[in-house]
Structure 1
Amino acid sequence: MPCVLCAEPGRMELASRPLPTEAPEGWVLVDIAAIGICGTDYHIYEGKHPYLAYPRVIGHELSGHLVEGPRAGELVVVNPYISCGTCRACRRGKPNCCVRIEVLGVHRDGGMCSRIAVPEGNVYPAEGLTPLQAAMVEFLAIGAHAVSRSGVGQGDVVLVTGAGPIGLGAAIFARLAGAEVHLMDLSQARLDLARDAFGFALSHRPGDDVLTGELAEGFDVVFDATGNASAIEAGFPLLAHGGTTVLVSVVKDDITFSDSEFHKREARIIGSRNALQADFERVMEAIRAGHIPTEAITSQVLTLGDLPARFDALTRDREHLVKVLVTP
């Protein structure tokens, strides 16, 4: 079967791998229907991912059809986080932060191909969704999980820093929770896209004098989706007293903040990693209800064979893209 792999930083290839015909016990075969390209995939291409060994078949935002059994042909969303099921986090219902987690397309080969085998518990029915919509669920679930972790509710004033796909997901679910949502990004193009395509008209640039007028007391929740240590640190002074910072992105750097200011605000810092099945289900219900503008999310649809030649241009143009989807 054809698959797209990153052979080394800066080189995507269309390769051939054997078509899986049998799945291990407890696993199922899925014929891939659509794949979303994620910021992780761009980082792999750029050689910036800290946990990856090349070559690697990319792709973890996946929809597909079950190959065998009584549900053969059913459209499903694939949860790409393969957990051990036995560590303390897994035993406590937190497989998203499993000690031995393996993410498809990162720690093991992903779904940028025709067929893949995954644990049976990692596939969720996607009734009422199209294959393209189903391939959007995973990245939106990351934002939904962050909002769930934050406790955002009606009347809260929220700032999302980083208006890329993950930040937009957090912004969408914060808005659905009843919050007033502001966005901040270095890129005016991203902010314009968020306004025109998704209706987020309240926006700021880093360095703006944000804490004025009705915002003088700060934001109830600040979600960071920048992946930038300086941006995370710049967000702490924007918290209102009693506020919460949610770290959706991850950085390798140490993060510092003023302890006295932190205690004065009785602030909270929450890490948010991956997503749970409940978050996937929440996203699918929101799509079915028409609350997610999936047409606006879809920037381009490519075929598997076209992707290697197009990947470099996509990487350079991702400021103007929300989600590029690939069909095998």
Structure 2
Amino acid sequence: MFRNYFAIPTWLAVMLVGTILLTVTVLAVLGFFTAGAVLAAARQPFNPLETAAEQVAGTALPPLAQEGIVPLATLPPNMPTPTPIPTSSAINDGRTNILIMGIDRRPGEPFISRTDTMMLASINPLDNSISLLSIPRDLYVVIPGHGRDRINTAFVYGSGSNNPAGGAALAMQTIEYNLGVPVDHYLMVDFNAFIQTIDSLGGIDVYVPYDINDPTFPDMNYGYDPLYIPAGLQHLDGYTALKYARTRHQDNDFYRAERQQQLLLALRDKALGLGFTELLRQAPGMYARLSDGIRTDLSLEELLQLANIAKDVPDGNVRNEVLGYDYVVSYTTEAGAAVLVLINEQAAPLIAELFLDN
């Protein structure tokens, strides 16, 4: 896997709307538009998350065995305990695991915010496959050094007041600790980058299985922007696609996760359908519009390698799953928070199939 090959990350052209699928399809194209500058820039920093001044060699986190977990709530005896899934023995099969985070960030706000969406993506060159696992934001887990809380708070805890790179590091470690999956890299996308990516591609076609009616959908200024999308095949622009991806008042987070994965696959199909020439023509403008809303610790060279692998993965080798009803149970904390607790014996086989088995 591409672990720690480059001490300084680069972001030159990722227009990923929350998914490695779209990223790896387009990265090669966007990289080429820099022509002779590509080789020189491949290992240079461009647009990673900012790190506090004292953090000069990565974010140091305490060892898990020494972090002294203080539970935020005590689970009754008949409830599953949110403990880590045992990690499989160390693997080096060439796969790359990337934590994709959609950030609830409005225009003008800093990059430190709760993660609205969390998805773990894996590209495996040995069997030419891609795996996606959507992780519910209300999953109640151990956050190393901070006790138990919802998984979407890990980024905020790690960021502190001014260290979003530490937030990404803690979010990755939280996934590793609780799911037993080694995470190699992070990729973060905010709302505007999501919108601009889809609009840059001319919109996407999505089959909506039933009418979507959400009269209290939040707008970008924390007000309301009612949403209605009729059932059937629909052509969505970027903002409507964002609303389709985020709405959950009509159903729940699990259906929302399925819609997000549906959009990612539609984006991949649209990017592949446009072809290299059209993407190359659009690359400079897309990069200018998207760079402010995307952060990653992947270098351009790593992204191009991933693009070369993932662009040829057939649809039948793309597996997308959600940690849904079969893998979690509802629980109310002593503070009255409604959360989800992972059922380890149910989730472990799925996680092994997606991320640990050759």
Q: Does the alignment reach a TM-score above 0.5?
A: no
Q: Which has the higher helix share?
A: 2
- Structure scoring higher RCO (CA < 8 A, sep ≥ 6) equals 2
Q: In proportion to residue count, which structure has more strand?
A: 1
Q: TM-score, normalised by structure 1?
A: 0.29
